[in-house]
Chain A
Amino acid sequence: MSEVSATERDIAPPAPGYWAMAGRKLLRDRAAMISLAVLVIIALLCAAAPWYAAHIAHTNPFRSNLSGTVMRHGKPVEVLGAANNPLHLGIEPIGPSWRLGPYMLGADQQGRDVAARLLYGGGNSLIISFAAAAVCLVLAAITGILAGFFGGWVDRVISWLLDALWAFPVFLLAISLSVVLIAHGIDLGLFRLDASSLALPITIIGVIYVPYVARPVRGLVMGLRQSDYVLAAIGIGAPAWRILWFDILPNVISALVVFAPLIIALDLLTEAALSFLSIGVQPPAASWGTIIHDGESLIYTRPMVAIAPGLAIVITVLALNILGDGLRDALDPRAKLRN
């Protein structure tokens, strides 16, 4: 047997696994970690919505409060007061108090606490965008892997379906599906979605972005299919499932991890757009999009009703995008060379 000379790398301890390495790199990425912290804080605040409504705002954010009063500077003030114009025509909801308590961000046109609705709505927005992204990534992974790995007619059928979906502009498709389905929900025997359930926007938003992820996954898998180590696995006689599991899936998953925050951000924006058009989350439930819709008619007098959810969307999407960049840098082995 020939000798292998002892070098320093022989003495070094074994390197950590791929995911451990990526995790370490991500932990060192300050922008990504701040974004992650921002997202966690937003999620926790939204999760605390019922507690906030009960113990700080002391209101039910789903019931209108047309004739109530609230204490401001020691005096009782009407939640829906007369408008502040010369003729006192119309009504004007109470403005923000800017301190923790009832109507911190003011009231909407039905006298509901905007701050409490913002937290409840954020919960729905986040649930929909995360769940829709999960639906999208799972469907894209399945279709992309099947098309890329098996090729032939499997690839042709899947690619044809994806192209058909891709041919529609995203919002046109989302709006058409929502308008049609929002009235009755989906009823396919075993698979039923109620019109008022969050599952309906989740399904619609999840499906429309599938081609945008499935295409790159298919390309990635087609490339891996030709790689020497997959050929080596075939040469060993490994069955297809082992090759998919050990050689293909780990690469696909790291690609999906990079895609995930970007798709969540896209889904959040799409959900807001649909809800703004009243074809997403249905009242009395709220989402950031429906609150912006509520604030549209108050934009000149009480702009905070629309600005608050708008800001929430901007901050969340920005944090998701920065986190996505960080994940890409941490998971992409070539990123090291680029620096």
Chain B
Amino acid sequence: MSTPLLTIDRLSKTYTTGSGLTRAGKSLIRAVDDVSFTIADGETLGLVGESGCGKSTLGRCVTRLLDVSSGRITLAGTDITRQRGAALRATRADLQMIFQDPYASLNPRRRVRDIVAEPLIVHRRGNRATVSDSVRRLIADVGLRPEHLDRFPHEFSGGQRQRVGIARALALAPRLIVADEPVSALDVSVQAQIINLLTDLKRDRGIAMLFIAHDLGVVRQIADRVAVMYLGHIVEIGATEQILAAAAHPYTEALISAVPVADPARAKQRHRIVLAGDPPSPANPPSGCPFHPRCRYATDICKTAMPALREMADGRSVACHHPVGIDQAA
């Protein structure tokens, strides 16, 4: 395989919280802990996990909206981890973001025309006339009409607003888009439209995507590979069909069993794994494997030793002492 477009190498993001003036009063939160993965050109990696597992933090670190605590981010061979100023601004043209809440991510005071033109103006892509043409084309590409250009965000439905957000992300023809739960704020009927739009766009333009979601059903439709995150760690990563067909990590197994099945006959015979308890606080993570208090396969070793992410015989990687359905000898 050639060099990947994006390489994340042992990335961590920690926060200190608490109000004490002294170090003793503060606690350290590991929102993202020692995460590594790659995304190839034109590939879509789905990143799933429950709320608070650090997936959005990871997305914002990748787009450099947050500074990382340690580790390295390499985009197309360039280390962008500590870029600043003009270099960082140039990088941002290749690295765009789609936000979760289409109500909050568009400035309510600006018209759609200005919102979509902003990236082109900032990066001096063309003059007034060509910017105007590009904006018209972008708006058409995301399925909106020219008469929408002079509207304000509040005049649109959630799905239409998300289309505006997508048009803005596409304006600079980026190589990688980080989509942070782009459909979880939308109605189910609209979700499919937006997923289809994103699928078409990435296929037509060859844009790579880090697609963050908390729902494997959504990821199944768009992602080539899936990474499952739990409490700041990636616990399983591999090809989408492979993981959805048979999860190796107990947490992934539980996630897959939670995806609704449309066929009532099949829905009846499947068994759902209901996880006990809440995810632990990242400020006070469990010892050993972070998943062990909720894991039905947990043994003594899980309470003491943190399992490393190991590549299995079938190509996926799993961080578990007792991967489900996989021969330990492999």
Contact = CB atoms under 8 A, between A and B. Distances in A.
Interface string A233-253: 111111100100011001100
Contacts of A3: 143
A18 interface: yes
B242 interface: no
In which size bucket is the chain A interface? 20 to 34
A251 B108 CA distance: 10
Contacts of B44: none
Contacts of A250: 109
Contacts of B107: 229, 233, 246-247
Contacts of B151: 14-15
A228 interface: yes
Contacts of B109: 18, 246, 250-251
A235 B63 contact: yes
B215 interface: no
Nearest to B194: A2
B118 A233 contact: yes
Contacts of A239: 89, 122
Nearest to A21: B152
Contacts of B141: 1
Interface in B192-212: 193, 196-197, 200
Contact of B145 (A4, A233, A236, A333): A4
Contacts of A251: 109
B150 interface: yes
Given A1-B200, A4-B145, A237 B123 contact: yes
A12 B122 CA distance: 31
B168 interface: yes
B173 to A, nearest CB: 13
A99 interface: no
A2 B101 CA distance: 21
Interface in A151-174: none
- Of listed A9, A236, A239, residue having the most chain B CB within 10 A: A236
A246 B119 CA distance: 13
Chain B interface size band reads 35 or more
A17 to B, nearest CB: 8
B32 to A, nearest CB: 17
B200 A15 contact: no
Contacts of B168: 232, 236
A237 B105 contact: no
Given A2-B197, A239-B122, A231 B65 contact: yes
Contacts of A232: 97, 99, 105-106, 165, 168
A83 to B, nearest CB: 65
A176 interface: no
Nearest to B89: A237
B317 interface: no
B104 interface: yes
Nearest to A16: B152
B144 interface: yes
B155 interface: yes
B272 interface: no
Contact of B101 (A17, A228, A233, A333): A228
Interface in A1-35: 1-4, 9-10, 12, 14-15, 17-18
Contact of A236 (B92, B110, B163): B92
Contacts of B89: 237, 239
Given A4-B160, A10-B147, A246-B110, A238 B97 contact: no
Nearest to A236: B119
B93 interface: yes
A227 interface: yes
Contacts of A9: 155
A238 B118 contact: yes
Most buried by B among A3, A227, A229: A229
Nearest to B199: A2
B122 A236 contact: yes
B7 interface: no
A17 B105 CA distance: 19
Interface of A: 1-4, 9-10, 12, 14-15, 17-18, 227-229, 231-239, 242, 246-247, 250-251, 333
30 contacts: A1-B200, A2-B143, A2-B196, A10-B145, A10-B147, A12-B155, A14-B111, A14-B152, A14-B155, A15-B151, A15-B155, A18-B108, A18-B109, A18-B152, A227-B104, A231-B97, A232-B105, A232-B165, A232-B168, A233-B107, A235-B95, A236-B119, A237-B90, A237-B123, A238-B118, A238-B122, A242-B118, A246-B118, A250-B109, A251-B109
Given A232-B168, A237-B92, A246-B110, 15 more contacts: A1-B141, A1-B197, A3-B143, A4-B144, A4-B159, A10-B147, A15-B152, A15-B154, A18-B109, A228-B99, A231-B105, A232-B97, A232-B99, A235-B97, A237-B90
